[in-house]
Structure 1
């Protein structure tokens, strides 16, 4: 079924104007610097040759197993450079020409974006756009391998463009030194065939999902943390979108990022390379795209696990109903009904102690729980980090409660309020237990129990 959220509705919900385009061109092999707008161009094809439909939008939407039809055969230099692709079954010359004529946008030039940019450049993707508003820092060099010590302080998009151009002079790199939000996404994304999320933050991922569904663009996304990562592909109309899996965004910072929780330096290289593989499959039509599930990679156990998923007919973006979540969107992918703790019942520590054997759901990360466990005597405690919640988590917790009150707990009250909201939404389908969130989280309890302590969890 076709997605119901079209581009015009998305603009209205985000209170956006028309994106507009500039009509300048770029020669293949150059580096083009852009602000909020992408120059309208097809590198190297302004010679009266009409480009065939893009793979992402053939006939108005992506069709599985299709690829870009090329405008000209490979020249001798290209045949030599990409010889190992030309002998691959399912790729061959047609696939390499499709890569050459493709336009791929990589959002984020950090840990995930680095392997994507490098391998897509090496593969001969004709136009690669890079979006990032940050500069290279020394702490980036542990994992962001396209940047160097000499580039510290330089804009990441410029550093990435230089790396890609030195690797493959036949690739055009578009630099977009902007912070991606709904407005800039609607200005930039229409010029590309496939979008790759290498940002590794919640707000950007949700904006990309929503805009890609509206524009019917395939989105390859990934996320990493410490020793593990996950990735998937959104193909509008042919599988679930990101909101089908994770309906409501967490606020950036609610789950420890690389700066707080750390990350194994090689991990984004592994997961980002998987993103690059999915892009190549989308463009060439070879293989099966990872569009019906989430893939989980654990570096410590060396396991790759697929969680099969289906499109949610009630999804607020690609489902069959109204997109109520979008009312009040602020341009960051969040609705006004998502973040306010006041929308769920609150309980303080004293009130919690008066409850009769409640089920206490600790939604912090396991590392946080190990550092500061929930106090003894609060009731039965189960640990379910909010970052790991799946569609089945809420029903399982309500069943485990067996009619008892459920109290969600986190460090400062924000994550627990979100978890309580999910449980409340689920319990409306049945006669469920009382559901509450610990007001202010363990930090508030700590200040009450230990007046001299002021350190947040």
Structure 2
């Protein structure tokens, strides 16, 4: 491992050493939100030598951010937070690999963004996004390091760590989410998110290094005004975890369906590829005809028998008249273990 001098003061700790520093170097951490909490998380993780950091934020820097979001300066106002934060992180530590997602996390992009990251750090201020993060993390079995802030107070916990409690176990979903205040409406002491973000970064490092006691099943409540802390235990709720897992799988299936639905241009390109099998699942009499060297007509009712002779890793494109039958066929083949599948969105009538 190169450049150990930078990390020599933490390498000397017997709980870390060279092996621990290599663990940090190999780690992939996704930070969702590059605001008050995300800035100190990114600063501390980059400084500690975490090798790969993903930054997710669709917002821009505003002057009102500057009293607490210390990655940014006045000249950054109007710039995208994710890209600007990435530049600041690389100035701090050029050895870090930074992946920038200049967008807000939503159901359409969540699984793609989370990718192969090992830990998610929830630095958001949206309750709905926190449930989304939870559900994706539970379905992928990824720990989430959480924090939230309010005026002079904050709280930190770790969810879904080694089969532990999830966000839904502590905060069951309610119908009154819109009433939860954020710092725009309620205000916040500028130093508070930096304190809580440092707590989050500490939990991330402990998880990577497998040292100490992780805040799984525990909620740390911090009162900065009176300098008081409280540690509250909470239990695992199997029903809440299962709800998150089911929701996550629904989101994944929806996202995959979108990724596997081809527009007309992508479909025509597939038809030109010799190594791609294009299956017309319409009945033989249906029009318009669509022919090609790699196009075969296999009506939906005959697909089960036909697919038995196919390689399950073969690239296959399905189409029908409107896209409905081809979507059903895609779902069936996916269930049978086929891996390279797509279909023509809205069917041949869209060409």
Calculate the TM-score normalised by the size of structure 2: 0.68
Task: Determine if the alignment matches structure 1 residue 294 to structure 2 residue 219.
Answer: yes
Q: Note if contact 2:54-2:98 (Cα within 8 Å) is conserved in structure 1.
A: yes
Q: CA RMSD in A?
A: 2.3
2:149 is aligned, of 220, 224, 228, to 224
Q: Note if contact 1:104-1:129 (Cα within 8 Å) is conserved in structure 2.
A: yes
Aligned-partner SS, 1:286:
coil
Look up the match of 2:119.
194
Equivalent residues in 2 for 1:154-193, closer than 5 Å: 154-193=79-118
Instruction: Give 5+ residue unaligned stretches, structure 1.
Output: 1-73, 332-457
Q: Deviations over 1:169-190 (max 9, x none)?
A: 0001110011101221111112
> Counterparts of 1:117 and 1:166 in 2: how far apart (Å)?
12
> Counterparts of 1:251 and 1:147 in 2: how far apart (Å)?
34
> Counterparts of 2:99 and 2:250 in 1: how far apart (Å)?
33
> Counterparts of 1:297 and 1:258 in 2: how far apart (Å)?
16
Calculate the TM-score normalised by the size of structure 1: 0.53
Look up the match of 2:8.
83
1:237 to partner: Cα distance: 4.8
Q: Note if contact 1:200-1:222 (Cα within 8 Å) is conserved in structure 2.
A: no
Q: Note if contact 1:223-1:230 (Cα within 8 Å) is conserved in structure 2.
A: yes
The answer to which structure has the higher helix fraction is: 2
Aligned-partner SS, 1:82:
helix
Q: Which moved more, 1:305-314 or 1:230-239?
A: 230-239
1:101 to partner: Cα distance: 0.7
1:286 to partner: Cα distance: 1.3
From the superposition, tell whether residues 151 and 169 of structure 1 become closer, same or farther in structure 2 (CA, over 3 Å).
same
Q: Note if contact 1:203-1:249 (Cα within 8 Å) is conserved in structure 2.
A: no
Runs of 4+ with >4 A deviation: 249-253, 322-329
Q: Note if contact 1:213-1:236 (Cα within 8 Å) is conserved in structure 2.
A: no
Equivalent residues in 2 for 1:246-261, closer than 5 Å: 246-249=171-174, 253-261=178-186
Look up the match of 1:239.
164
Q: Which moved more, 1:243-252 or 1:206-215?
A: 243-252
1:280 to partner: Cα distance: 0.3
> Counterparts of 1:327 and 1:283 in 2: how far apart (Å)?
29
Task: Determine if the alignment matches structure 1 residue 313 to structure 2 residue 238.
Answer: yes
Instruction: Give 5+ residue unaligned stretches, structure 2.
Output: 255-351
> Counterparts of 2:247 and 2:190 in 1: how far apart (Å)?
40
Q: Note if contact 2:139-2:246 (Cα within 8 Å) is conserved in structure 1.
A: no
Look up the match of 1:124.
49
1:273 to partner: Cα distance: 0.6
From the superposition, tell whether residues 327 and 89 of structure 1 become closer, same or farther in structure 2 (CA, over 3 Å).
closer
> Counterparts of 2:14 and 2:243 in 1: how far apart (Å)?
34
Look up the match of 2:197.
272
> Counterparts of 1:163 and 1:328 in 2: how far apart (Å)?
33
Look up the match of 2:65.
140
1:317 to partner: Cα distance: 3.2
Equivalent residues in 2 for 1:95-114, closer than 5 Å: 95-114=20-39
Q: Deviations over 1:327-383 (max 9, x none)?
A: 999x9xxxxxxxxxxxxxxxxxxxxxxxxxxxxxxxxxxxxxxxxxxxxxxxxxxxx
2:210 is aligned, of 285, 291, 303, to 285
Q: Note if contact 2:51-2:97 (Cα within 8 Å) is conserved in structure 1.
A: yes
